[in-house]
Amino acid sequence: MIDSKQCILVIRFSALGDVVMTVPVVKAFLSAHPRTEIIMLSDARMADLFQNIDRLVFVGADLKNKHKGLIGIYRLFQQLKKSHQFDLVADLHGVLRSHVLRLLFRMSKKTTAVIDKGRFEKFALVRKENKIYRPLKHSTERYIGVFNVLGFKAFAKKGLLQETISPVKCDEQSKINIGFAPFAKHIPKMYPLDRFIDVIRHFDSEKYTLYFFGGGPVEMAFIKEWEDAFKHAVPFNHQLGLKDELELMSTMQVMVTMDSANMHLGSLVNVPVVSVWGPTHQHAGFYGLGQDPLQAVQVSLSCRPCSVFGNKKCWRGDHACMQQITPAMIIQKVEQVLF
């Protein structure tokens, strides 16, 4: 175990949901090791996730412009080397750009470690035949493993995994906020929107206030349409930043999401999430941290899961994993959380 004061560069780029899952890890790490500091390197747009964390400095990378490609990564390496003093490098991403960055730091005599993504285990889970169907490590556990390799052996025993997020049961007179986030980065992970509307319609009554979460022009077009169609919908504030969105999300009694970043954002602010799962599966290690597994909506099919990330074409051709989920199944889960 490392006792002396040390500063660690932690690297995690990529999708919002993956970065969100680093937040409880770095918080727990800093709590368990009060003589450490973290320099958190991620996409610049992730800065709000890491505000007000004691002994953490956020560094935002511009991967589409200034830090794009090998030249950009070298420029980022030089920037970090000049502006920050650190002893260790924890690569929680394990992709080409982070490999290159880690190599440069190793050549500069820094001690480095990289995530074990468990690629073979995940392949065995999603392959078409002879699946090995078992729960794999949660992503947060894999992040912890990188710190273990760097010598922080006690970290995994400090109780990162929080207790299951407990719903606050509502009475008949309570005004209930429900957040709906039916979008996902990959289309196969999305429940058909024409059927999702039936879920929204069920809760469009005096008892509920409906909020919609999304981003980008296409999603915003759907949200605008729903705001006009449903009487108890609250108009989306287009000026919301990630910090403001998290604050709003924290006021929900329940979130309804796909296997998406919003599932992880809801988990981050301790809101119960009813998540809809199709081609992907919680066994791959991406379930919302602290969420009750019984709140997942899914059907049992021999072909599931067929993809780790939900970016593969359906082998059957009928997307049965989503088509066999009825709006009533989602409604029932939401009501079980609320009442």
Rounded to 5 degrees, φ, ψ at 60 are -95, 130
238 has pLDDT over 90? no
pLDDT at 168: 82
pLDDT digits (tens, 9 = 90+) for 280-297: 999 999 999 999 999 999
Assign 204 a pLDDT band (cuts: 50, 70, 90): very high
pLDDT at 170: 84
**Of 49, 38, 43, nearest in space to 63 by CA:** 43
260 vs 189: CA distance, rounded Å: 8
Q: 3-state class of 33 per DSSP?
A: coil
- H helices present in the chain, as ranges: 16-20, 22-32, 69-83, 96-107, 119-126, 139-149, 193-202, 217-229, 242-249, 261-268, 320-323, 327-338
pLDDT at 273: 98
188 has pLDDT over 80? yes
pTM of the model: 0.93
Assign 246 a pLDDT band (cuts: 50, 70, 90): very high
Q: 3-state class of 204 per DSSP?
A: coil
89 vs 104: CA distance, rounded Å: 11
Above pLDDT 70, what percent of the chain? 96
164 has pLDDT over 90? no
pLDDT at 166: 83
Say if residues 249 and 269 touch (Cβ distance below 8 Å).
Answer: yes
Say if residues 259 and 17 touch (Cβ distance below 8 Å).
Answer: no
Please give the domain boundaries of the chain with CATH numbers for all domains: 6-157 (3.40.50.2000), 176-338 (3.40.50.2000)
